[in-house]
């Protein structure tokens, strides 16, 4: 199979895993590569995230056009509630819920831009919210806190996980740069409200 055909097939299989199993792009690409290829796949043969996202949109339009828009709106409404509650921390929505490819299997991913990294945690305590603390590598390659809560969606009739990555206020400027296709990778409360009430 020529590399370009292999890459396209991996992207298509990865897209199905993203939609049907709620996988993140990286793990979905790796599993798709193991499924499709008869040999170990070189990094150059893996599709980029944009290629996978294109396939996700195609898959959604073919197989989930009747359900996905309502599920996406429900997740965006969960995000809106949390962004309003945490407005002092300049919340921005990112990931599949922002990009418009989320289904009920996805979580909500927010980024909080704080002057003090502990202030968001203290705000959750003040709100009486139970949360868990994790971490991931931030924009500068150093660990940053990720706070997670569960939030009920009345529309979905189930609980949704909301992840809040706590970043430094100074990281916001770089975060607003568009991606390679000129699209925003995150949006603030006003931008999300505009998507919900066009």
- Do 86 and 147 have their domain in common? yes
Last residue of a domain, one of 12, 47, 63: 63
pLDDT in tens, 6-65: 999 999 999 999 999 999 999 999 999 999 987 788 888 899 999 999 999 999 999 999
pLDDT of residue 44: 87
**Other CB atoms within 10 Å distance of the CB of residue 30:** 16
Q: What values do phi and psi take at 168, rounded to 5? A: -75, 145
- Do 182 and 99 have their domain in common? yes
Mean pLDDT on 165-177: 83
pLDDT at 4 over 90: no
Last residue of a domain, one of 39, 63, 87: 63
pLDDT at 3 over 60: no
- Do 132 and 84 have their domain in common? yes
pLDDT at 131 over 90: yes
Q: Residue with structure tokens 């809560």?
A: 149
**What's the number of domains the chain is made of?**
2
pLDDT of residue 122: 95
pLDDT in tens, 55-109: 999 999 999 999 999 999 999 999 999 999 999 999 999 999 999 999 999 999 9
- Do 97 and 7 have their domain in common? no
- Do 131 and 172 have their domain in common? yes
- Do 33 and 72 have their domain in common? no
Domain hosting 81: range is: 68-196
- Do 38 and 131 have their domain in common? no
pLDDT of residue 73: 98
Last residue of a domain, one of 63, 97, 115: 63
pLDDT of residue 90: 95
């Amino acid at each position: 199979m020529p590399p370009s055909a292999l890459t396209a097939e991996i992207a298509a299989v990865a897209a199905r895993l993203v939609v049907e199993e709620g996988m993140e792009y990286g793990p979905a690409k790796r599993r798709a590569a193991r499924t499709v290829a008869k040999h170990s796949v070189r990094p150059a043969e893996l599709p980029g995230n944009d290629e996978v996202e294109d396939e996700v949109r195609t898959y959604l339009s073919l197989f989930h056009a009747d359900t996905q828009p309502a599920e996406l709106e429900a997740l965006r409404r969960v995000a809106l509630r949390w962004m309003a509650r945490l407005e002092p921390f300049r919340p921005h929505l990112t990931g599949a819920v922002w990009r418009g490819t989320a289904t009920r299997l996805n979580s909500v991913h927010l980024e909080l831009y704080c002057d003090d990294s502990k202030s968001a945690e203290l705000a959750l305590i003040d709100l009486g919210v139970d949360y868990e603390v994790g971490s991931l590598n931030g924009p500068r390659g150093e660990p940053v806190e990720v706070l997670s809560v569960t939030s009920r969606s009345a529309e979905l009739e189930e609980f949704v996980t909301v992840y809040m990555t706590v970043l430094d206020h100074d990281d916001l400027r770089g975060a607003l740069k568009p991606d390679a296709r000129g699209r925003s990778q995150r949006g603030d409360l006003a931008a999300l409200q505009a998507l919900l009430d066009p």
